[in-house]
Structure 1
Amino acid sequence: MLLGRVKSEDDNKLKSFQAGFLKNLKSLYRFTRPNTLNGLVIAVTSICCLPLQNLGDLTPTFFMEVFKTVVPAALMAIYMTAINQLVDVKIDKINKPDLPLASGDFSIKTGVAITLTCAMMSLAMGIMIGSPPLAWGLILWFILVTAYSIDLPFLRWKRNAFLAAISIMIGYGVGIQFSFFIHIQKYVLGRSVVITRSLIFTTGVITCMSLAKALLKDLHDVDGDKEYGIRTFSVMLGKER
């Protein structure tokens, strides 16, 4: 009887551990904002394919180098969404109450730990790969994301619609495009740097899309942004317009 009780308690502890683990895993998944993460991974992978000239370039080495490029980019994308959640907990309680920090599923300490880990790992990997354009692209991305989100003097650019749009357009439209393209072209394929028409076209399209994103991305966040003085285009124009 005693053995049965001990076994039952062990089973309950195991089930409790499994439930807690799955809950934290789901919270981590939501914390990474998978829609944003998936979009950026696809975008970076697509950029890496732009310098290709023929099927002979599609070697196992190329795919491995693309993977090594996508990983730090994905980590920086997580940092981007994470730092924004950290500084916007109060706003997210109004706009996005289901996010882990806003809902209380994650503590602030946990959020800080994940955010810093992703940023440091991304920058470290970018530097260790030994490609200056990749490293500088990640550094530029880090600076723009931090300036956009963090609440310090002369920063928190998201409070100003113009600065927010400029940072998004530079980061998405120009910085990521050119740095990752040159990284693959010169340091993976071993070719001279040539700015191709496909890169110019893609940069133009992504820049326009980035501007549209800057205009529309906060459409569902008007209530919280307005209450906390975040003057996005959506706040200034209103939901109806």
Structure 2
Amino acid sequence: MNLKPWFMLVRPFTLIAPFMAVMFGCIFQLAVYNEVNTFWNNFPVILFASFAMASAQAVGQIMNQVEDVEIDKINEKSYRPIASGEINEEKAQLTAWFFSIFSIIVGFSINIYYGFFMVFFLLAGIFYNIEPFRLKKRLWLNTGSLAISRGLLPLPAAWSIFGNVTDATPWLIGSIMCMWVLGWQNTKDINDIEGDKKYGIVTPVVYHGIEKLSIIIAFLSFMSFLLLAFYLGTGLLPSNMATLFILFIPTLWMIYKLMRMDFSKISLENNELWAAFYLTLAGFYIISATTYLIKPYVTLFS
């Protein structure tokens, strides 16, 4: 049995950020609560929760391929197994059901809050991909819905596993990520203009064009870090969260590539900016957690 098509069906590179969201989101929450010493005792729960979040994301990726077979063919995405004919739609849908059930069972076995977060992420995939909702074809509702499900909510979801879901910190950082994702999520559509136009998918890049959208993305990028500065200046976030400004460096590089209209394709899939988007998104979780992990050592030498 050739496993590569099944591997590509879930688009594993896109699952890095949601997996990291839970793994490092839990570390972040435990460190804030001064309970990081319980991490290894709770590691099995954290690991299953991470796989549940990644599974919920995978469901959306599978649904997208099922609904967009003809669009993928036009956009020459032969690496996608449904478009190439390596996996049929029925088997793909069964796989999506498996991941859906897994994420829901794991979610509610952890606690009711995490369970409902899993349900929301799955519903987000349905509303984005499937008629009569099909937010994917509705200008800015498409990217806006992804900004909520991939930017705003993953950290509060991870926080809810062992912490208080009403704590402000994960929601504030999530709002910064939401604005950042609202801009950079558009990189996934840059190479899809031809197929999207033909099938009435009005993405921001189809409607605004690449040049105008580049300015919008740059604006949203700067606004996300201005929002971080506002939270720090008003004391809504502690001063050590200024470490998130580190991510302004890769963001500037991404803006540079964007303004040069450099959308070089990579061997994995899509373009460099798309890959940088997912890696930088994961960086928000990693840096937030690391900041609190090293805080005692920084304090010791300050």
Which TM-score bucket, shorter chain as reference? 0.7 to 0.9
**In 1, Cα distance between the equivalents of 2:39 and 2:105?**
26
1:113 lines up with 2:105 in the alignment: no
Query: Which residue among 54, 62, 67 is the counterpart of 1:82?
Result: 62
The answer on whether the counterparts of 1:160 and 1:230 sit within 8 Å (CA) in structure 2 is yes
Query: Which residue among 160, 164, 173 is the counterpart of 2:138?
Result: 160
**In 2, Cα distance between the equivalents of 1:104 and 1:143?**
27
**In 1, Cα distance between the equivalents of 2:157 and 2:79?**
35
1:179 lines up with 2:157 in the alignment: yes
Query: Which residue among 28, 34, 40 is the counterpart of 2:12?
Result: 34
Deviation at 1:200, TM superposition (A): 4.2
**In 2, Cα distance between the equivalents of 1:71 and 1:222?**
32
Query: Which residue among 183, 188, 195 is the counterpart of 2:167?
Result: 195
The 10-residue stretch of structure 1 (222-231 or 36-45) with the greater mean CA deviation from structure 2 = 36-45
* Aligned-pair Cα RMSD in Å: 1.9
The answer on whether the counterparts of 2:21 and 2:158 sit within 8 Å (CA) in structure 1 is no
Letter in 2 for 1:140: F
**In 2, Cα distance between the equivalents of 1:200 and 1:136?**
16
Secondary structure at the counterpart of residue 163 of structure 2: helix
Q: Deviations over 1:153-189 (max 9, x none)?
A: 2x00010122112211221233322222122215xxx
**In 2, Cα distance between the equivalents of 1:90 and 1:32?**
18
Q: Deviations over 1:195-238 (max 9, x none)?
A: 254x2442133112220234332111111111110000011122
Query: Which residue among 178, 181, 189 is the counterpart of 1:218?
Result: 189
The 10-residue stretch of structure 1 (174-183 or 93-102) with the greater mean CA deviation from structure 2 = 174-183
Percentage identity across paired residues of the two chains? 26
Pair 239,174 (structure 1): closer, same or farther in 2 beyond 3 Å: closer
Pair 204,65 (structure 1): closer, same or farther in 2 beyond 3 Å: same
The answer on whether the counterparts of 2:21 and 2:154 sit within 8 Å (CA) in structure 1 is no
1:147 lines up with 2:147 in the alignment: no
Secondary structure at the counterpart of residue 51 of structure 1: helix
Pair 109,56 (structure 1): closer, same or farther in 2 beyond 3 Å: closer
**In 2, Cα distance between the equivalents of 1:59 and 1:39?**
20
1:169 lines up with 2:147 in the alignment: yes
Query: Which residue among 49, 52, 56 is the counterpart of 2:30?
Result: 52
**In 2, Cα distance between the equivalents of 1:144 and 1:56?**
32
**Corresponding residue of 1:104:** 85
The answer on whether the counterparts of 2:155 and 2:171 sit within 8 Å (CA) in structure 1 is no
Give the structure with higher Rg (CA).
1
**In 2, Cα distance between the equivalents of 1:120 and 1:200?**
27
**In 2, Cα distance between the equivalents of 1:194 and 1:126?**
18
Secondary structure at the counterpart of residue 71 of structure 2: helix
The answer on whether the counterparts of 1:173 and 1:204 sit within 8 Å (CA) in structure 2 is yes
**Corresponding residue of 1:61:** 41
**In 2, Cα distance between the equivalents of 1:213 and 1:144?**
19
- After superposition, residues 118-129 of structure 1 pair within 5 angstroms as 118-129=99-110
**In 2, Cα distance between the equivalents of 1:57 and 1:175?**
26
Question: Which structure 2 residue ranges, 5 or more long, are not aligned?
Answer: 213-302
Deviation at 1:194, TM superposition (A): 5.8
**In 1, Cα distance between the equivalents of 2:184 and 2:65?**
18
The answer on whether the counterparts of 1:164 and 1:214 sit within 8 Å (CA) in structure 2 is no
Q: Deviations over 1:94-132 (max 9, x none)?
A: 221221000011111211111111112211221233x01
Deviation at 1:92, TM superposition (A): 0.7
